[in-house]
Every structure is written in C-alpha cells, then in structure tokens.
Amino acid sequence: MLRTSVISLIAITAVTTPARSQGVESAVLVGYGVLSIGAIVSLSSRGNPPAVETGTTLRMRLRGTTDWSKTVRVARITNDSMVLASDSGSWSIGRSEIDSLQVKASTGRWAEGWLIGLVAGGATGAFLAHEAADANQGNDWFTPGQAVVIGGVLLGASASIVGAGIGLLAPSRWVTIGNPKDARVSIAPMLARPGFVVELRF
C-alpha cells in the first residue's frame, strides 16, 4: 500500500506539473523523502537511551537520595567521573555516586508530530476523497480506489509536514536513563569539525 501510494504521488505530480517546474517538484519530493526517513529513524531509535557527552544538559539523583539535582551541564567525562558545570561553578563527581540521570531531550518531538500528521491527514484525505468520488461517479479522472489513495497521500504528506513543524515547537522533556556507573565510555569522531567526542553509552 505504501509503495502504491508513493508511486501514485510521484505519477500525479509528474503529470500535473508543467515542464518548467519539474525541478522544483523533484526537489520537494526529495526533501519530503529525507524528512520522512529522518522521522522514521528517529522514531525507531526512541527506545535507545541517549548518549551523554560534553555539553549535555542533565539532572542527577545521587545514591541514597530521592530528589533530583538542579540542571547542570557536562563539561568533561572520564572513565570514572564527570565534571559538571552550572552558573555557580564546576565540580567533579564520581560516576559511582550517581544513582540515575535525566537528560533533556527535544529532538524527537518533530518526528512524533510527523507521524501523527501522516496518520490523521492520510485517514482524513482518504475519507474525503472516497466521499467525493461517490458523489461524482462518472465525472472524475480517477476510480474511487485511485482517488482514495491519492487523497490519502496528498493530505497525509501535507499534514505530516505541519505536524513536524508543530512538534519542533513542543516543549522539551526529561528522559530518565540508566545508572552511569554501568555505562561505557566511548570515543567517537566529530562530524562538524576535526576531533573526537567522549560519550557515555548506556
């Protein structure tokens, strides 16, 4: 069904678009494809605990306590400790002293909005197209089945873009992750500039 919908969208776009704007439409389709792939990857990795690296904003709960600390930022990570920073200064704390961490995460909200928009918009578009096809049988360019697919794809794609935009504006959430004592330290290359970043992987 998904393959049929995508092929239908591409075919309708190619037929109904003037030749001079084919490049723009192709760019739009490619852009939406990248957005969709990114959303699917983000949603599929939601169950994976986020990595803690330099610059990560977090809260912590120490062993033997029930309260979460104030918000701090990770300044440096070593094999057995973390250097934390806040407005009042910086200090080092052993990983064995920390019971659990909460990381402030917001990057996945746009993917949730994309999915909600895709499902809700697709269902609405398919329903409206079906109703319109039933009311105008014999006067449409497409069969009722084709109209349902096209309507679902077009409105679903549009609504998913709007949903992704709304998701970007959604407030961040705190994600509780495992015991940092059991996490492993990994070193990964940086993509933005030459160098490496030290991370805690759970």
Q: How many CB atoms lie within 10 A of CB 146?
A: 16
Rounded average pLDDT over 177-182:
66
- Residue 99's SS3 state is strand
Distance separating alpha carbons of residues 7 and 12, to the nearest angstrom: 9
Distance separating alpha carbons of residues 56 and 6, to the nearest angstrom: 38
How far from the centroid of its chain's Cα atoms is residue 133's Cα? 35
Distances in whole angstroms, Cα of residue 93 to Cα of each of 17, 73, 88, 123, 154: 61, 13, 15, 52, 53
**Angle (deg, nearest 10), helices 22-44 and 109-135:** 120
pLDDT tens-place string over residues 104-160: 765 557 888 889 999 999 999 888 887 877 777 655 566 777 778 888 888 989 999
pLDDT tens-place string over residues 38-93: 888 878 876 666 778 888 888 988 888 888 889 999 998 888 888 999 888 889 98
Judged against a pLDDT cut of 50, whether residue 193 lies above it is answered with yes
The pair of structure tokens assigned to 192 is 């933005």
Give all strands of the β-sheet with 81-86 in edge-to-edge order. Answer: 89-94, 81-86, 72-77, 57-62, 98-105, 173-177
What pLDDT was estimated at residue 183? Answer: 65
What pLDDT was estimated at residue 20? Answer: 46
H-state helical runs in 89-181? 109-135, 144-169
**Contact assessment for residue 106 and residue 173, using Cβ atoms and an 8 Å cutoff:** yes
